[in-house]
Amino acid sequence: MKFFITGAAGFIGFHLAARLLNDGHSVAGYDGMTSYYDVKLKKARLAKLQEFENFEFTAAMLEDRSALALAYTEFEPHIVIHLAAQAGVRYALEAPDAYVGSNMIGTFNLLEVVRQGMPEHLLFASTSSVYGGNEKMPFSEIDRTDFPVSLYAATKKSGEAMCHTYAHIFRIPTTVFRFFTVYGPWGRPDMALFKFVRAINRDEPIEVYGHGQMARDFTYIDDLIDAIVALSGLTPGDKRAASSDSLSPVAPFRTVNIAGGTPVELMEFITAVESAMGRTAKKVLRGMQPGDVVETHADPTLLREMIGQVPSTPIAEGVLRFVRWYRDYYLE
């Protein structure tokens, strides 16, 4: 199979591309290589992918529709997985244009390109942040997502809406993933785990937001990739779940949470980091940051019914794997 992956040099895109390449598929990666975080890390991921003969890469922005169309049409993919986005809740306060450009205009450009050369399946990466101010827990795919509390969430919700519209009008089989706090080796430096490990290693204090009274439904990267690969072969209509299916009534379109449904308290997460590093963190308690939510908690019922499994890597094990990678990458 031929997979076209946007954001291939990113954290999730790198792991997904590597899995598919190892499985013998052909992958065309597309990534803007922006400086939102250390470009050296992106280049290091990319270098590993370029060791495969069945991998090709285009360095360009999603906003450049001509470059996007050229890369897409020359490759003629069977499956498109759209991971590229401007991520991060807090950075939107500093650079809102980046979110509109990448997450909305970029997604629109991809949809325009895709409808001209129809793939077998389009998969779009959204986020648990779209659940926003919802108070009902756990979050289900059929819940309303009308109350975003960050620009990041608003732009990803817009992406979901555009994907549904194109699925309806042009009959593009489309699956939307909602990711929940993905972590693991080769992760992003702006994420809490990376920041905690780096600070503790330098004997610097860590900032604990929400005074530690927060919880996240953490998802280990290998579990996430297992789910994406499994779902890539199940287009809407191939399989209908027994209950709570999010299939659209008017389009070949489905939304799926990818998470284990087991939130971890922030202080428990920090304890796992301290244990993996063999050090106690110096903690500075802070209030909630604009755009943050107190808790994320996924209902994984649909995912389990679709693929027969949900993310299950224990937090202590996943954090330990990250710490080992961090030490190998930065300290040896």
In terms of domains, do 174 and 291 share one? no
Classify 204 as helix, strand or coil.
coil
The torsion angles phi and psi of 286, rounded to 5 degrees, stand at -125, 165
- For residue 209, give its domain range: 192-216+262-298+313-331
CA–CA separation, 153 and 157 (whole Å): 6
Active site residue 99: no
Cβ neighbours for 56, distance < 8 A, ≥ 6 positions apart: 27, 28, 29, 75
* CATH code of 267's domain: 3.90.25.10
Structural domain contains residue 307: no
Nearest Cα neighbor of 158 from 143, 148, 172, 170 is: 148
In terms of domains, do 128 and 98 share one? yes
In terms of domains, do 124 and 272 share one? no
In terms of domains, do 47 and 100 share one? yes
CA–CA separation, 303 and 230 (whole Å): 10
Residue type present at position 25: H
In terms of domains, do 22 and 156 share one? yes
In terms of domains, do 159 and 269 share one? no
Identify the pLDDT of residue 285.
Answer: 87
Identify the pLDDT of residue 240.
Answer: 63
Identify the pLDDT of residue 88.
Answer: 85
pLDDT tens readout for residues 185-222 = 999 999 999 999 999 999 999 989 888 888 999 999 99
Point out the catalytic residue in the list 91, 152, 183, 326. Answer: 152
Flag residues of the chain having pLDDT under 70: 238-243, 291, 332
CA–CA separation, 273 and 261 (whole Å): 21
Identify the pLDDT of residue 238.
Answer: 61
Identify the pLDDT of residue 93.
Answer: 84
In terms of domains, do 109 and 151 share one? yes
Nearest Cα neighbor of 319 from 196, 178, 189 is: 196
CA–CA separation, 62 and 47 (whole Å): 21
In terms of domains, do 202 and 92 share one? no
